Amino acid sequence: MEDILYAPWRDEYVTNKKIQGCVFCHVSSHASEDEGLHVLYRDEHCFMVMNKYPYTPGHFMIIPHAHTDKLEELDPKVWLHMSALAQKGVRLLKEGVRAQGVNIGMNLGKAGGAGIAEHIHMHLVPRWERDTNFITAIAQTRVYSTDFERLFQKIKSLIPQYI
């Protein structure tokens, strides 16, 4: 017998059109679509976007506009700017959504575990004590405990206060 996990909120993912080319370059070059693409913030160097496949609620990424898969070749000014945004993002997650901890990371290259290896990006993953459970390890499934769109709107509303 097969277990079925109903997830009607995934319908948009299944039926939505696929972006051709680099998804991050698409987001970078389509500022007029920020709301639908779940962009939290953008400036001349980077943008911050909610992760569509989050590890935990509130997981977002900081992404340079420059298309590169080589951190070592990123303009140092852009890297420092990303780092400053990460500091502010951690404060936003801790104070704004009451995260008890935050994982920050970059997976560089396919061998390094990057899901989108062609364009570097930094993950900020809010964490709470006891936010892990058996289902991830046993069923290779994640449980998202809150409404994605509502949390996106909440974090976006906090941007002017923290970024």
Annotated active-site positions, please? 121
59: helix, coil or strand? Answer: coil
Q: How far is CA 92 from CA 27, 40, 88, 97, in A?
A: 22, 12, 6, 7
How crowded is the C-beta side of 91, counted as CA atoms within 13 Å?
A: 11
Centroid of chain to Cα 84: 17
Contact by Cβ (8 Å): 97, 79: no
Closest to 23 (Cα-Cα) out of 109, 156, 107, 121: 121
Query: What does the alpha-carbon distance between residue 61 and residue 141 come to, in Å, rounded to a whole number?
Result: 21
